[in-house]
């Protein structure tokens, strides 16, 4: 079983549209949407039978007023300034859940409690089992939630003996992206031919170099600026990153997207389907002989 993570240096490159169409053409696949801050793969894959579970990904210090003797030791030891000097109460929004205050409190007045930071959905799509999640706005544990989604996808893949796990990674290069890439067998880099797209792509390549992950390049809407597309392709060639697809700016793709449909599945889009099938075959070739 191989894990392929689709990433882009930033949002809005068409990463999720690409991912949805890719999984629709793969067999024995488990799908993990790790864009937990703004998940939307489910809008295209329309999974059903969603099993919704609460995710508690953080802890918060909670004080029992009855036990507090106002000694101020918690205030002195909280390095996140999350204890008020006036009454030694906890400032929830500043608490990082480190647990130091609960350790040092002489009367056990402070306890650490788990708090809800998101939801995880286990669902079935037409193309295979799909695990997705949504982080509560403002919750600061997206990397942990991404790891949890991937763990559940791994379990599901083992259960059904899947050949592939396709991960729709988070945009950017921060903690959730690193969690999305962790233990990937291959990364697919989706970019667009703009100067910012190129610059973001270079930063993403630094990340995958760090993890030493094989990668393939997808240039979306390549024809809106063919000169930059050529530069991106050349840059990636020098980085040993193979070009997997140049996707055109196409009204057929826009129309499918507006209807919430997959462009590779719609009649009349055989050329686009063929292009995506070539991506599937390049992915498979990458693992030939293993």
Binding residues vs ligand SF4 (CB under 6 A): 61, 63, 68-74, 78, 80, 82-83, 88, 90, 95-101, 105, 107, 109-110
In the complex with ligand SF4, the residue whose CB is nearer, 68 or 186, is 68
Q: Are strands 29-33 and 128-135 parallel, antiparallel or unpaired?
A: parallel
In the complex with ligand SF4, the residue whose CB is nearer, 81 or 285, is 81
In the complex with ligand SF4, the residue whose CB is nearer, 79 or 288, is 79
Q: How far is the CB of 138 from ligand SF4 (least distance, A)?
A: 16
Q: How far is the CB of 117 from ligand SF4 (least distance, A)?
A: 15
User: Which residue has 């039978």 as its token pair?
Assistant: 49
Please report, in angstroms and rounded to a whole number, the separation of the first and last CA atoms in the chain. 11
User: Which residue has 């979306």 as its token pair?
Assistant: 220
Q: How far is the CB of 107 from ligand SF4 (least distance, A)?
A: 5
Q: How far is the CB of 58 from ligand SF4 (least distance, A)?
A: 10
Q: How far is the CB of 54 from ligand SF4 (least distance, A)?
A: 21
In the complex with ligand SF4, the residue whose CB is nearer, 100 or 257, is 100
Helix or strand (DSSP H, E) at 281? helix 270-286
In this structure, are residues 131 and 156 in contact, taking their beta carbons and an 8 Å threshold? yes
In the complex with ligand SF4, the residue whose CB is nearer, 69 or 254, is 69
Contacts of residue 110, Cβ cutoff 8 Å, sequence gap at least 6: 61, 62, 63, 64, 74, 90, 101, 102
In the complex with ligand SF4, the residue whose CB is nearer, 45 or 95, is 95
Q: How far is the CB of 108 from ligand SF4 (least distance, A)?
A: 8
In this structure, are residues 65 and 183 in contact, taking their beta carbons and an 8 Å threshold? no
**Can you tell me the distance from the alpha carbon of 257 to that of 263, in angstroms, rounded to the nearest whole number?**
7
**Can you tell me the distance from the alpha carbon of 118 to that of 103, in angstroms, rounded to the nearest whole number?**
27
Helix or strand (DSSP H, E) at 232? helix 226-238
Residue 164, both tokens: 């592939």
The candidate with the shortest Cα–Cα distance to 21, out of 250, 228, 214, 287, is: 250
């Amino acid at each position: 079983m191989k894990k392929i993570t689709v990433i882009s240096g930033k949002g809005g490159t068409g990463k999720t549209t690409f991912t949805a169409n890719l999984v629709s053409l793969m067999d024995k696949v488990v799908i993990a949407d790790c864009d937990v801050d703004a998940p939307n793969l489910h809008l295209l894959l329309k999974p059903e039978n969603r099993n919704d579970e609460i995710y508690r990904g953080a802890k918060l210090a909670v004080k029992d007023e009855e036990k507090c003797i106002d000694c101020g030791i918690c205030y002195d030891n909280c390095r996140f300034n999350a204890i008020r000097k006036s009454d030694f109460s906890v400032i929830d929004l500043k608490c990082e859940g480190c647990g130091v205050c609960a350790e040092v409190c002489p009367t056990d007045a402070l306890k650490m409690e788990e708090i809800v930071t998101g939801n995880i959905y286990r669902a079935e799509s037409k193309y295979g089992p799909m695990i997705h999640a949504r982080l509560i706005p403002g919750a600061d544990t997206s990397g942990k939630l991404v790891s949890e989604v991937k763990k559940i996808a791994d379990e599901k893949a083992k259960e059904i003996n899947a050949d592939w796990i396709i991960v729709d990674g988070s945009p950017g290069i921060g903690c959730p992206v690193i969690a999305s890439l962790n233990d990937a067998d291959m990364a697919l880099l989706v970019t667009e031919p703009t100067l910012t797209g190129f610059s973001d792509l270079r930063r993403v390549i630094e990340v995958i170099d760090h993890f030493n992950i094989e990668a393939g390049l997808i240039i979306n809407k390549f024809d809106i600026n063919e000169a930059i597309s050529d530069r991106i392709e050349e840059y990636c060639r020098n980085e040993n990153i193979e070009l997997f697809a140049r996707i055109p700016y196409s009204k057929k793709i826009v129309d499918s997207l507006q209807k919430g449909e997959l462009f590779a599945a719609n009649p009349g889009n055989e050329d686009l389907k063929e292009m995506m099938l070539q991506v599937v075959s390049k992915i498979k070739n990458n693992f030939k002989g293993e």
